[in-house]
Structure 1
């Protein structure tokens, strides 16, 4: 098993539309464990959990919010890891897991640190206490609400005692602070930025997952970026043709199909004509989807990448009014694409349920995904430059 773990300060889960967007992002990440901070919820039930992570194989542990602030929830796929024990503290939700694939025992702690330095010292004590009770390989992730070095925050020039206390805790617990890829900051209010979120792992955990790396994901609906600790990449192969219900949301789609259907002039028996027309319609739909409608997933990825580029630019300089307007436009467009994807995923999940029922199909999918992860190249240096584009990597390897 090569897990993907995501940590994200979502700034509230009270709104249904926001949970819908978060569920779409969780599905996009294909994460095995997700830790959400600042839920602002006093309780969690299966209805709320299902609105975040669709499916019957999800389990969770949570820390209730303190009034209208704070709160942590850790979600995981029970087909991937099994909870052995859990600990709910004042600033952490910790679980000891056993991997289903290889029975590997390890521990994860989701963290949401306090804003004040004095309260944050209680977090270091809490982590030290849990660490001493469970003699296991560790992965700790979340919003610590403090940086380690002045270079991790805009406008910071000196090493403060809070930074030193954070580094001392990492040293005392013998943890590895992984570098982060795809960006520096994990929080920004469009005026300043800092790296408040991170994953820390023990050397034993790193030895078991030697290909582990940490990366920043695209953000939407929060002033924090999601971060992922990824023990291996995965890319899917080509899919067979299927009619997508989301196409019906496109203006004039039904009239376009009628026009195509009427234009086919064929000779033969009625059954032959019907089959030939369906085959011709399939080609027209594929062409239209490719050239006009577009791949919603790829379009969303492209717009998220453009949004990330503007966010990185904002870290080093002030945006022009046109760039600010483009950020707003991208946010609205991404939300529209997310709703289209929801239509598509509801269609796919319903078809899978009718065909397979509650069987172990997901297990075989996950086995296949593990092979894809092993054969995947996430990044390649081409002439000394980092390349992450799949087609460029393919062309370079072939050349």
Structure 2
């Protein structure tokens, strides 16, 4: 079985599981790698069973440490292109529950010795979900041990987009081969993706790991809670709302996305660069103080810089907390990195890289979007229903009191109470990207014009 890591269509690392070789020589490696620039480490087989081989381009990765077990191989070092410290684990899982527990314990220990980004790949001989093995009704106990190990290690199971099962033998098939990465790995390589290669004569499909950014068009509009921390935001919304004039509420919201997008780019674009600039200025003042240049003006400037930098820290935290959609956000300490990683994982899991359309596997993002939109338009189109009159005997006459109650319009207070009590602030009621936090705050600030429009909206 083969595990490949590719970058820009170039093979940088290759892992082989079940080599069945007790000795691997340079001659063996050159027959596979061919260009002569490979480094490698291996774990010998037990007779003709097992065996691991990990090869890499010496210009891609510089190994610092190597750890070996009977069923796993770990190389730790530096990626030469960006000087990122990382560790690659090639795994061949055991078959019995007790043996698997030993492997998980060994990998946990070695993982603790590798502080950088970690990537675990190979044949784990275990599944996580019932759906990962055909005709299975319940998970074995060893599967729960496996899931607990993944959770305790803080690993993310990367999905493979173009196939459901990886291993086939007769009528049996399952997904026992996978790639697990740490949050540090996703932080360094947020666009890591998996796809299957041709199986050939093997009973395993090879897994190809790629780091690439897919071009999927412009991002949809989304209102951000962090905007409300800016002193001039509501004033800008109020002015733009009045300038749009007397048009339908939904059209007005749609037109508002243009000035909001421009305002966001002017005021919230490149948050990291803004924070870095403030931090550099604070560092300069600290250097001046260290050199003895300190007076009231310097102190006042430092306080102002610290205050501004603090505001941007809060805005960045609010932004990634909203993007992560974490259910535990209120209970968490301030941790922008935590929410950033959650958002990255969620975005990756929600992306549709490939789709089977009319029996063909399609990767074109524009075609995928059009197909999905047309599918739901057809699914939810309005059908003509039979008209039923009161005289058909299906509806009884209601009292005059009930009739008047049904015709009464809801008061603004009732609508506001329903919106405030039953609509979660982080959720958007429509696909236009405006969440309830935006509706609530603009209702309070803009006044009667916005309120009347919202009444018609709901």
Give the SS at the match of 2:180. Answer: strand
Which runs of structure 2 are paired with 1:326-345 in the superposition (5 Å)?
A: none
Aligned to 1:145: 125
Aligned to 2:152: 172
Task: Compute the displacement of 1:382 (Å).
Answer: 12
Do the aligned residues in 2 keep the contact of 1:7 with 1:228 (CA within 8 Å)? yes
The total of aligned residue pairs comes to 232
Aligned to 1:122: 102
Aligned to 2:363: 388
Aligned to 1:133: 113
Aligned to 2:68: 88
Give the SS at the match of 1:170. Answer: helix
Task: Compute the displacement of 1:133 (Å).
Answer: 1.4
Aligned to 1:42: 22
Task: Compute the displacement of 1:31 (Å).
Answer: 2.2
For residues 3 and 353 of structure 2, the distance between their equivalents in structure 1, rounded to whole angstroms, comes to: 22
Give the SS at the match of 2:74. Answer: strand
Aligned to 1:190: 170
Aligned to 1:73: 53
Mark the structure with the bigger radius of gyration.
Answer: 2
For residues 167 and 197 of structure 1, the distance between their equivalents in structure 2, rounded to whole angstroms, comes to: 14
Task: Compute the displacement of 1:221 (Å).
Answer: 2.0
Change (3 A) 1:144 1:26: same
Task: Compute the displacement of 1:53 (Å).
Answer: 0.8
For residues 76 and 66 of structure 2, the distance between their equivalents in structure 1, rounded to whole angstroms, comes to: 6
For residues 27 and 16 of structure 2, the distance between their equivalents in structure 1, rounded to whole angstroms, comes to: 16
Per-residue deviation, residues 140-191 of structure 1 (Å, max 9, x unmatched)? 0000011111110012110211110000000111100111111011100131
Per-residue deviation, residues 362-399 of structure 1 (Å, max 9, x unmatched)? xxxxxxxxxxxxxxxx958899x983159979xx9xxx
Flag as ranges the 4+ runs of structure 1 deviating above 4 A. 25-29, 378-383, 389-393
Task: Compute the displacement of 1:28 (Å).
Answer: 12
Tell me how large the CA RMSD over aligned residues is: 3.3
Give the SS at the match of 1:124. Answer: helix
Give the SS at the match of 2:11. Answer: coil
Aligned to 2:38: 58
Do the aligned residues in 2 keep the contact of 1:379 with 1:386 (CA within 8 Å)? no
Do the aligned residues in 2 keep the contact of 1:98 with 1:104 (CA within 8 Å)? yes
TM-score, with length taken from structure 1: 0.53
Task: Compute the displacement of 1:229 (Å).
Answer: 1.8
For residues 153 and 168 of structure 1, the distance between their equivalents in structure 2, rounded to whole angstroms, comes to: 19
Do the aligned residues in 1 keep the contact of 2:7 with 2:212 (CA within 8 Å)? no
For residue 199 of structure 2, the aligned residue among 214, 219, 224 is 219
For residues 139 and 362 of structure 2, the distance between their equivalents in structure 1, rounded to whole angstroms, comes to: 34
Do the aligned residues in 2 keep the contact of 1:37 with 1:143 (CA within 8 Å)? yes
TM-score, with length taken from structure 2: 0.47
Do the aligned residues in 1 keep the contact of 2:7 with 2:210 (CA within 8 Å)? no
Task: Compute the displacement of 1:116 (Å).
Answer: 1.7
Task: Compute the displacement of 1:61 (Å).
Answer: 0.3
Which runs of structure 2 are paired with 1:8-19 in the superposition (5 Å)?
A: none
Which runs of structure 2 are paired with 1:238-387 in the superposition (5 Å)?
A: 379=353, 387=362
For residues 143 and 52 of structure 1, the distance between their equivalents in structure 2, rounded to whole angstroms, comes to: 20
Aligned to 1:229: 209
Change (3 A) 1:190 1:390: farther
Per-residue deviation, residues 294-341 of structure 1 (Å, max 9, x unmatched)? xxxxxxxxxxxxxxxxxxxxxxxxxxxxxxxxxxxxxxxxxxxxxxxx
Which 5+ residue runs of structure 1 have no aligned equivalent?
A: 1-5, 9-24, 235-377
